[in-house]
């Protein structure tokens, strides 16, 4: 197998790898280095995260298990700092050296930050990655006034997000009109009026020369001497390709890494793709052309004949609610162009197309973009329009509204439906017919349509409806199946398992007609969970269907080693346990011993084959730091020691942890117990938090301390510890029975509604029944580390050096 290394774990690069895996799945041993500490996510949707429409989990395109399933060695948070082209190897910032036969550079871009005094102050950011997004969300909780520099696509989407976060927003723009590269003056002024009505303020034709403030920004000064206040500044004035590594390694770089029509750089066996690449003097900043490049490169690198990449015409839209605009090609007239224009001031609709030699060369649509696919096709195909009247060309008469069947019928097969992924109507219809697709999800899975910005989804749905005719089932089509292997939703799957009495993962997939007989990393763990939830005590866990960390009962680290985190109930330990941990750490040369966020001690950097002996020597239960289960119960010292404590928080925490440890839950669950409202255990941001008050406990639910920070809601107040245990058992069991696999309690609570859950749990009979099912389930669990120590079969299968690659 040839060694393929990729630098950069972003949208264009990983799409290229997906294409390579389709073309030549067995051809390469693949290693990817990413500077960000995450798997590949949909950067486009950062705007939606900021605008509050989605969460980070929902925008992950390739979860970690995708890499494992495809045997890809992924190093996250580990940038490559040098390419040694002579020796054909890359070197990471941690000194790791990896050899390659072929190397892809897909390092994307970074935000361009104005080189002016004060640009390094706290509160100044670009808008490029999830870290920037989190910083803005955090700032909006503490500060009120934001200034966005740059009135382009990114700046306006950022500004809309900051308004949604409750900030006052000024947009500072250098030019007299917004989005001057995409819109003419009329469309730009219509856009400005709409955004002003939404609450944005604009400072036009202003050049920022200094950022004011001490440590943190307080405002900015313009060239004309005027100033404006700001607590947060977002720079959205364009991007700059990440080319340093290439440049320092002798690869020819201009604005981007210069590539030919096959994405080959000036150095043999090194390719570049995405925003870091410069092709025919153009560096693209939208995914559609980057994905086209990826396809060409995948063919080239896998040894297939492919047409060269000749460059792309791009079309853009702004992702701001209430704004409907489309722009492609040339914007401004010159002596060789004529335009056709329609302007309906009353309905705020404006359309203009630019024509040269009877061919469309530019499109600007505002207020009504239904014609965009038709016109864009005419532009990209350079169709001769001399036979079409100027009225009909702008009349939407053969356009696709996404709702009318006639519109879909009259749409040519080569019309582009998904601009981001280059998918035509013909390709979608073909996939529906030949692969028997019935849901939007499946169409997306098979064709890629809708996988990026998601704007084309209504039209894809209309095509699905048109193609299936009488067989179209609207509710089924919209439903989200648990993965691309089936059309079944979570509810249907659970119902079918119950109705047909299915008892194993294999049986579920066989009986329910899975279109991929092995299933995938999305459905196998989910089916395993639902089976265990339904059959309670009888179900025999299918260990090989679990996600890799759960299968190994240890958390795999970025370098392929594992961590060991033993239980410390309620965060309480003993000198004897500490001695055991210290001895093991010393004996096995454990590289890192660290207190975890969940009040216990983690041993990091352990070799797979050492796991069983370490567990044996520790002789402590697993802390399940890797599991979709109860992780930790964090406690404060409480009434036993603290003078403010009103309750025994440690005793309650320990009791909770001992009762619910090992329980399979749809996602991880964390608890916190504080003995007074000072809340030293941060119970307010836990899945379930308990706060001691005079004469009882308050129970908070749905809190989350991660990326989607959420304060818990008060579920109820109870008097005794027994009531706490009863309510917690019922709440957790209700979550287990109604949540989707991998749905955190915070999302589940928001989906079902607090009042609904309170209503269910208010009924004593229901609580009792839920607790009975919970108790039945809890009986089946055994200690996994102990089981491994005493089973040669398990040790041989999972923990010897030659078994289980990281990718399994
Ligand atoms: C907020 C926002 C909204 C957007 N909206 C749209 C939209 O609506 N439509 C559209 O088409 N496009 C949109 N884009 C642009 C689109 O996201 C990019 O074109 C696309 O992500 C580029 O893909 P890429 O792989 O080239 O770069 P990236 O996705 O940026 O990936 C490059 C990766 O390489 C990593 N890296 C860099 N240097 C190194 C190194 N030395 N070693 C290892 N890793 C390294 C980076 O950390 C990064 O993770 C948007 C962008 C943003 C920021
Ligand atoms: N909906 C989408 O398709 C979408 C959304 C967001 C981002 N993106 C992509 O992300 C990339 C970055 O977007 P962008 O908007 O930052 O880049 P851009 O180059 O498209 O726009 C930058 C804007 O900032 C203005 N500007 C430049 N210097 C300035 C200054 N000193 N003060 C004030 N204004 C100044 C420019 O006049 C320009 O309008 C682009 O490639 C873009 O295509 C696309
Ligand atoms: S939460 Fe209250 S009782 Fe617990 S340690 Fe803090 S101050 Fe003391
Ligand atoms: S147009 Fe963006 S995902 Fe289809």
Ramachandran region, residue 668 (left: φ > 0; alpha: ψ -120 to 50; beta: rest) = beta
Which residues lie closer than 8 Å to 718 by C-beta, 6 or more apart? 696, 697, 699, 724, 727
Which range, of 72-81, 174-183, 637-646, 703-712, averages the lowest pLDDT? Answer: 703-712
pLDDT tens for residues 487-501?
888 999 999 999 999
Mutate to test the pocket of ligand 3, among 644, 683, 691 (most ligand atoms within 8 A of CB): 644
Ligand nearest to the CA of 455: 4
312 CB within 6 A, ligand 4: no
- Is pLDDT of 400 > 70? no
pLDDT tens for residues 153-176?
999 999 999 999 999 999 999 999
- Picking from 95, 77, 66, 70, the residue whose alpha carbon sits closest to that of residue 4 is 70
Which phi and psi angles does 523 have, rounded to 5°? -85, -35
The tokens of 544 are what?
């090989």
pLDDT at 805: 39
Rounded CA gap, 534 and 501, in Å? Answer: 10
Rounded CA gap, 578 and 561, in Å? Answer: 23
**Residue 485 is assigned to a ligand binding site:** no
Rounded CA gap, 154 and 156, in Å? Answer: 6
- Is pLDDT of 558 > 80? no
Determine contact, residues 340/379, Cβ cutoff 8 Å. no
Sign of the Cα torsion 257, 259, 265, 266 reads negative
Q: Whose CA is nearest to atom 5 of ligand 3?
A: 636
Determine contact, residues 264/296, Cβ cutoff 8 Å. no
Q: Whose CA is nearest to atom 19 of ligand 1?
A: 286
Give the HSE-up count for residue 332: Cα atoms under 13 Å, Cβ half-sphere: 5
CA of 462 to the centre of ligand 4 (A): 15
Q: Output the average pLDDT for the chain.
A: 93
In angstroms, what is the C-alpha Rg of the chain?
Answer: 29
Q: From the CA of 645, give the closest atom in ligand 3.
A: 3
CA of 262 to the centre of ligand 2 (A): 28
Rounded mean pLDDT, 494-514: 94
E strand map for 22-163: 28-33, 73-75, 80-84, 89-92, 97-99, 102-105, 109-111, 124-125, 145-149
- Is pLDDT of 693 > 90? yes
The tokens of 778 are what?
């809890």
- Picking from 156, 107, 127, the residue whose alpha carbon sits closest to that of residue 290 is 107
- Alpha-carbon distance values, 429 to 347, 454, 464 (Å): 35, 18, 7
ipTM of the complex: 0.92
Comparison of pLDDT for 416 and 515, the residue scoring more: 416
Q: Give the residue carrying structure tokens 């030549």.
A: 24
- Picking from 547, 588, 608, 597, the residue whose alpha carbon sits closest to that of residue 568 is 597
**Residue 523 is assigned to a ligand binding site:** no
pLDDT at 726: 98
Ligand nearest to the CA of 640: 3
Rounded CA gap, 183 and 186, in Å? Answer: 8
pLDDT tens for residues 261-287?
999 999 999 999 999 999 999 999 999
Ramachandran region, residue 281 (left: φ > 0; alpha: ψ -120 to 50; beta: rest) = left
- Is pLDDT of 402 > 50? no
pLDDT at 473: 78
The whole-model pTM stands at 0.72
Rounded CA gap, 371 and 394, in Å? Answer: 7
450 CB within 6 A, ligand 4: yes
Q: Give the residue carrying structure tokens 């009329």.
A: 186
- Is pLDDT of 804 > 50? no
Question: SS in 3 state form for 199-253?
Answer: CCEEECCCCEEEEEECCEEEEEEECCCCEEECCEEEECCCEEECCHHHHHCCCCE
CA of 157 to the centre of ligand 2 (A): 10
CA of 236 to the centre of ligand 2 (A): 6
pLDDT at 45: 94
Determine contact, residues 374/398, Cβ cutoff 8 Å. yes
**Residue 398 is assigned to a ligand binding site:** no
Which domains does the chain possess?
2-109+241-301 (3.50.50.60), 124-237 (3.50.50.60), 324-396 (3.30.390.30), 408-478 (1.10.10.1100), 490-546 (no CATH), 550-618 (3.90.480.10), 630-778 (3.30.413.10)
- Is pLDDT of 521 > 70? yes
Determine contact, residues 278/292, Cβ cutoff 8 Å. no
Strands, sheet with 28-33, edge to edge from the N-terminal-most edge strand: 73-75, 28-33, 2-7, 102-105, 270-272
Ligand nearest to the CA of 652: 3
Sign of the Cα torsion 711, 712, 714, 720 reads negative
Other beta carbons within 10 Å of 119: 15
Enumerate residues lining ligand 1, CB below 6 A.
7-13, 33-36, 43-44, 46-47, 79-80, 106-108, 127-128, 154, 242, 245, 274-275, 285-288, 290, 319, 420, 453
Q: At 404, is the pLDDT very low, low, confident or very high (cuts 50, 70, 90)? A: low
pLDDT tens for residues 190-227?
999 999 999 999 999 999 999 999 999 999 999 999 99
- Alpha-carbon distance values, 314 to 6, 311, 363, 676 (Å): 26, 10, 11, 59
Q: Is 629 helix (H, G, I), strand (E, B) or coil?
A: strand
CA of 417 to the centre of ligand 4 (A): 8
679 CB within 6 A, ligand 3: yes
Rounded CA gap, 16 and 18, in Å? Answer: 5
CA of 542 to the centre of ligand 1 (A): 38
- Is pLDDT of 321 > 60? yes
301 CB within 6 A, ligand 4: no
- Is pLDDT of 597 > 70? yes
One-character DSSP codes across 296-331: HHHHHHTT---PPP-----EE----TT--EEEEE--
Q: From the CA of 156, give the closest atom in ligand 2.
A: 15
CA of 359 to the centre of ligand 1 (A): 33
Residue 19 burial by CB count (10 A; 0-12/13-18/19+): exposed, middle or buried? buried
pLDDT at 803: 44
Ligand nearest to the CA of 285: 2
Rounded mean pLDDT, 650-678: 97
Q: At 806, is the pLDDT very low, low, confident or very high (cuts 50, 70, 90)? A: very low
pLDDT tens for residues 417-461?
999 999 999 999 999 999 888 888 889 989 999 999 888 888 898
**Residue 520 is assigned to a ligand binding site:** no
Rounded mean pLDDT, 570-591: 97
Q: At 808, is the pLDDT very low, low, confident or very high (cuts 50, 70, 90)? A: very low
């Amino acid at each position: 197998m040839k060694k393929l290394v990729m630098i950069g774990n972003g949208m264009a690069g990983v799409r290229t790898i997906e294409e390579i895996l389709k073309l030549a799945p067995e051809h390469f041993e693949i290693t990817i280095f990413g500077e960000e500490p995450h798997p590949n996510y949909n950067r486009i949707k950062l705007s939606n995260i900021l605008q509050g429409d989605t969460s980070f989990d929902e925008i992950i395109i390739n979860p970690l298990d995708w890499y494992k399933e495809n045997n890809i060695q992924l190093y996250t948070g580990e940038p490559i700092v040098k390419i040694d082209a002579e020796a054909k190897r890359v070197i990471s910032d941690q000194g790791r050296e990896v050899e390659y036969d072929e190397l892809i550079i897909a390092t994307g871009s970074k935000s361009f930050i104005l080189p002016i005094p004060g640009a390094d102050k706290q509160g100044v950011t670009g808008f490029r990655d999830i870290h920037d997004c989190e910083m803005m969300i955090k700032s909006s909780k503490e500060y009120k006034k934001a200034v966005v520099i740059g009135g382009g696509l990114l700046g306006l989407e950022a500004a809309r997000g900051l308004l949604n976060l409750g900030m006052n927003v000024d947009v500072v723009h250098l030019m007299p009109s917004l989005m001057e590269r995409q819109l003419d003056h009329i469309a730009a002024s219509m856009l400005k009026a709409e955004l002003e009505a939404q609450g944005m303020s604009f400072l036009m034709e202003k050049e920022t020369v200094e950022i004011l403030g001490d440590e943190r920004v307080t405002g900015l000064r313009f060239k004309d001497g005027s100033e404006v206040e700001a607590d947060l500044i977002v720079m959205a004035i364009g991007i700059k390709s990440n080319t340093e590594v290439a440049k320092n390694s002798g690869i020819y770089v201009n604005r981007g890494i210069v590539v030919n029509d096959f994405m080959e750089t000036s150095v043999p066996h090194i390719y570049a793709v995405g925003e870091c690449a410069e092709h025919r003097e153009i560096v693209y900043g939208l995914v559609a052309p980057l994905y086209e490049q990826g396809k060409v490169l995948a063919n080239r690198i896998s040894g297939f004949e492919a047409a060269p990449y000749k460059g792309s015409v791009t079309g853009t839209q702004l992702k701001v609610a209430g704004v409907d605009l489309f722009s492609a090609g040339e914007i401004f007239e010159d002596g060789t162009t004529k335009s056709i224009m329609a302007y309906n001031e009353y309905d705020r609709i404006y359309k203009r197309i630019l024509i040269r030699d009877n061919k469309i060369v530019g499109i600007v649509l505002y207020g009504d973009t239904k014609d965009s696919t038709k016109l864009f096709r005419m532009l990209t195909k350079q169709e001769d329009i001399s036979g079409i009247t100027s009225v009909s060309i702008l009349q939407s008469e053969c356009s696709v509204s996404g709702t009318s069947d006639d519109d879909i019928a009259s749409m040519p097969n080569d019309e582009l439906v998904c601009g981001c992924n280059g998918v035509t109507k013909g390709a979608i219809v073909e996939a529906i017919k030949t692969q028997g697709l019935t849901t939007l999800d499946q169409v997306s899975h098979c064709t890629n349509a809708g996988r990026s910005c998601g704007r084309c989804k209504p039209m894809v749905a209309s095509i699905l409806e048109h193609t299936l005719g009488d067989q179209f089932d609207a509710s089924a089509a919209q439903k989200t199946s648990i993965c691309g292997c089936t059309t079944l939703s979570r509810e249907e799957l659970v119902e079918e398992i119950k109705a047909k009495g299915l008892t194993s993962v294999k049986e579920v997939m066989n009986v329910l007609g899975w279109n991929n007989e092995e299933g995938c990393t999305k459905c196998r763990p989910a089916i395993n969970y639902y089976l265990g939830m339904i059959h309670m005590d009888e179900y025999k866990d299918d260990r090989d269907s679990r996600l890799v960390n759960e299968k190994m009962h240890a958390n795999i680290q970025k370098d392929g080693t594992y961590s060991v985190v033993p239980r410390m109930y309620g965060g309480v330990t003993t000198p004897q346990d500490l001695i055991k941990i210290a001895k093991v750490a010393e004996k096995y040369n454990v590289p890192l011993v660290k207190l975890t966020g969940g009040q216990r001690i983690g041993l990091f950097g352990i070799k797979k084959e050492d796991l069983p002996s370490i567990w044996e020597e520790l002789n402590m239960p697993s802390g399940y730091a890797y599991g979709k289960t109860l992780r930790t119960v964090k406690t404060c010292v409480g009434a036993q020691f603290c003078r403010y404590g009103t309750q025994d928080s440690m005793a309650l925490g320990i009791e909770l942890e001992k009762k619910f440890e090992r329980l399979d839950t749809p996602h991880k669950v964390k608890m916190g117990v504080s003995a007074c409202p000072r809340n030293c255990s941060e119970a307010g941001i836990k899945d379930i938090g308990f706060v001691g008050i005079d004469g009882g406990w308050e129970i908070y639910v749905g809190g989350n301390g991660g990326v989607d920070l959420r304060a818990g809601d008060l579920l109820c107040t109870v008097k005794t510890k027994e009531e706490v245990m009863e309510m917690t058992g019922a709440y957790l069991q209700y979550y287990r029975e109604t949540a989707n696999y991998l749905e955190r309690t915070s999302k589940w609570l928001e989906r079902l509604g607090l009042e609904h859950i309170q209503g269910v749990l208010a009924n004593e009979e229901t609580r009792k029944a839920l607790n009975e099912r919970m108790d039945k389930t809890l009986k089946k669990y055994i200690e996994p580390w102990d089981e491994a120590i005493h089973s040669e079969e398990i040790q041989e299968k999972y923990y010897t050096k030659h078994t289980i690659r990281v990718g399994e």
